[in-house]
């Protein structure tokens, strides 16, 4: 529900405006003077303001200026029964969304209020999307601990090369982020980054997913489809959870890596492909090889460079940096202000056993933001972490 603040020293005017807006299912707060209005504006989250110009003491133009300094995204509609063209122009120059004369025309008032609320929503959504895009494109690896600094150093060295990379580490440590960093810092950064989650695709469909298929290759193949090897050609193909790939698919991936050629399912023609391969797994591939579940020759093809991403428990000193980063990320995704956290709460988070690693920490921060009051306290961490 939208929320509007009405600022006017005349009670009958406030009551009339309240009745009109509440009939439109808008929540209304009132302020009878400028000092009260600014105080309420600072403490509440409003979608728009209706403000009289002529009031005792500080006038509406001064209130408008103060509100613009506090939050310029909230549209302020000026209203006055003593207005002139000069007054209207001045208020618009100061940043008012619109100007309405008293007594207000009902239709004009409602159209202006609806447009102001729509604008507020669009501004908020646009800023959120821009921040999301910015945060995704930056793709930072947060941390200064020795294990994570070693990962960063390897990325810097290997990214400009064509070497294949195998990323290992427990679930939730950020292996995909490492792969994306390698791509972004490579000469292929403008080309596609294509990801395949080998664990999420049924074994009978993995070959079609990787190599594509021809029309009629199987019952549901109603048209030709390009595989991920073709789509990533010239760019980077990220094979996530490759330890879960079937042996038959492993054999075909090995052949594709050896020959830089693939054949679509149901097809005969060989197609040249040239993606850079980055793979990742949470499994011990040497153990999988010993037990006959992973091909040793494929392992050696993939692991030209091996990157071991540490668990969060092995880099707990980075939590001090990760907590504010995730607080900002949660605020960005929700479009709200970033919530503060006590140092004692951060110290308690450092001591948690993070079996789910970075993913668990991120989910915990989001839960703390939702469940805590004005700021995140030690007590909140004890209850919700």
Within 8 A by CB and 6+ apart from 299, the residues are 166, 285, 286, 289
Predicted confidence (pLDDT) per residue in 30-45, tens digit: 999 989 999 999 888 8
User: Which contiguous run of DSSP H or E holds residue 371?
Assistant: helix 357-371
Structure tokens at 345: 């709460």
Predicted confidence (pLDDT) per residue in 215-239, tens digit: 988 877 888 989 999 999 999 999 9
Looking at residue 132, its pLDDT comes to 55
The CATH number covering residue 224 comes to: 3.40.50.300
- Stretch 288-296: mean pLDDT: 97
pLDDT level of residue 204 (50, 70, 90 thresholds): confident
Q: Which of 104, 57, 44 is nearest to 77 (CA)?
A: 104
Q: State whether 93 and 159 are in the same domain.
A: no
Compute the C-alpha angle 106/40/71, nearest 5°.
85
Last residue of a domain, one of 132, 158, 177: 132
Structure tokens at 273: 């492909």
Last residue of a domain, one of 290, 310, 330: 310
β-pairing, 98-101 vs 76-80, is: parallel
In the chain, how many domains are there?
A: 3
Is 158 domain-assigned? yes
Q: State whether 153 and 299 are in the same domain.
A: yes
Q: State whether 185 and 271 are in the same domain.
A: yes
- R_g (Cα) of the chain, nearest Å: 29
Looking at residue 138, its pLDDT comes to 47
* Cβ proximity of 160 and 187 under 8 Å: yes
Q: State whether 17 and 125 are in the same domain.
A: yes
Structure tokens at 318: 């980075």
Tokens 């789910």 sit at which residue? 356
Is 139 domain-assigned? no
User: Does the pLDDT at position 97 exceed 50?
Assistant: yes
DSSP string, 315-353: GGGGHHHHHHHHHHHHHHHHTSPPPEE-HHHHHHHHTS-
Predicted confidence (pLDDT) per residue in 145-174, tens digit: 999 999 999 999 999 999 999 999 999 999
Is 300 domain-assigned? yes
Last residue of a domain, one of 289, 310, 331: 310
Predicted confidence (pLDDT) per residue in 179-195, tens digit: 999 999 999 999 999 99
Q: State whether 170 and 265 are in the same domain.
A: yes
* Cβ proximity of 212 and 230 under 8 Å: yes
Is 39 domain-assigned? yes
The chain-wide mean pLDDT, for the chain, equals 90
Q: Identify the three-state secondary structure at position 231.
A: helix
Q: State whether 156 and 305 are in the same domain.
A: yes
φ/ψ of residue 21, rounded to 5: -75, -40
Is 140 domain-assigned? no
pLDDT level of residue 102 (50, 70, 90 thresholds): confident
Predicted confidence (pLDDT) per residue in 66-94, tens digit: 998 888 889 999 998 776 778 788 888 88
Is 269 domain-assigned? yes
Residue 286 belongs to domain spanning: 146-310
- Stretch 105-129: mean pLDDT: 83
CA–CA separation, 380 and 89 (whole Å) = 50
Q: State whether 304 and 190 are in the same domain.
A: yes
Q: State whether 30 and 119 are in the same domain.
A: yes
The CATH number covering residue 359 comes to: 1.10.8.60
Is 204 domain-assigned? yes
Q: State whether 300 and 182 are in the same domain.
A: yes
Q: State whether 303 and 227 are in the same domain.
A: yes
CA–CA separation, 304 and 308 (whole Å) = 13
Q: State whether 293 and 151 are in the same domain.
A: yes
Structure tokens at 302: 């993939």
CA–CA separation, 254 and 299 (whole Å) = 9
Compute the C-alpha angle 170/347/138, nearest 5°.
55
Neighbours of 140 (CB within 10 A): 10
The CATH number covering residue 55 comes to: 3.40.50.2300
pLDDT-above-70 percentage for the chain: 96
Neighbours of 334 (CB within 10 A): 12
Q: State whether 157 and 194 are in the same domain.
A: yes
Is 141 domain-assigned? no
Looking at residue 231, its pLDDT comes to 95
Structure tokens at 371: 């469940």
């Amino acid at each position: 529900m939208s929320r509007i603040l009405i600022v006017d020293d005349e009670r009958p005017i406030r009551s009339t405006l309240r009745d009109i807006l509440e009939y439109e299912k808008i929540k209304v707060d009132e302020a009878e003077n400028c000092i009260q209005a600014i105080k309420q504006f600072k403490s509440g989250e409003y979608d728009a303001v209706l403000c009289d110009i002529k009031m005792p003491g500080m006038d509406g133009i001064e209130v408008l200026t103060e509100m613009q300094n506090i939050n310029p995204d909230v549209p302020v509609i000026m209203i006055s029964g003593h207005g002139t063209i000069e007054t209207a122009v001045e208020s618009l120059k100061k940043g008012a969304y619109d100007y309405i004369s008293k007594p207000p025309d009902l239709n004009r008032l409602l159209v202006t209020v609806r447009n102001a609320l729509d604008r507020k929503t669009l501004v908020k959504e646009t800023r959120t999307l821009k921040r999301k895009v910015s945060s995704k494109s930056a793709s930072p690896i947060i941390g200064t601990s020795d294990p994570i600094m070693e990962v960063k150093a390897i990325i810097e060295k290997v990214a400009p090369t064509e070497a294949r990379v195998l990323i290992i580490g427990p679930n939730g440590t950020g292996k995909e982020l490492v792969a994306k960093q390698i791509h972004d810092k490579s000469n292929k950064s403008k080309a596609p980054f294509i990801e395949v989650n080998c664990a999420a695709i049924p074994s009978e469909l993995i070959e079609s997913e990787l190599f594509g298929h021809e029309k009629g290759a199987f019952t549901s193949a109603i048209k030709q489809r390009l595989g991920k090897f073709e789509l990533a050609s010239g760019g980077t193909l990220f094979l996530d959870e490759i330890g879960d790939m079937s042996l038959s698919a492993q054999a075909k991936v090995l052949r594709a890596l050896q020959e830089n050629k693939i054949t679509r399912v149901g097809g005969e023609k060989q197609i040249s492909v040239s993606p850079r391969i980055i793979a990742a797994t949470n499994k011990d591939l040497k153990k999988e090889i010993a037990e006959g579940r992973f091909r040793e020759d494929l392992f050696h093809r993939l692991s030209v460079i091996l990157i071991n991403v540490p668990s969060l428990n092995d880099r707990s000193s980075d939590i001090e940096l990760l907590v504010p980063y995730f607080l900002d990320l949660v605020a960005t995704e929700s479009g709200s202000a970033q919530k503060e956290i006590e140092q004692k709460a951060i110290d308690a988070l450092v001591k948690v056993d993070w079996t789910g690693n970075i993913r668990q920490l991120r989910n915990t921060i989001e839960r703390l933001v939702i469940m805590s009051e004005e700021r995140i306290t030690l007590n909140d961490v004890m209850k919700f972490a």
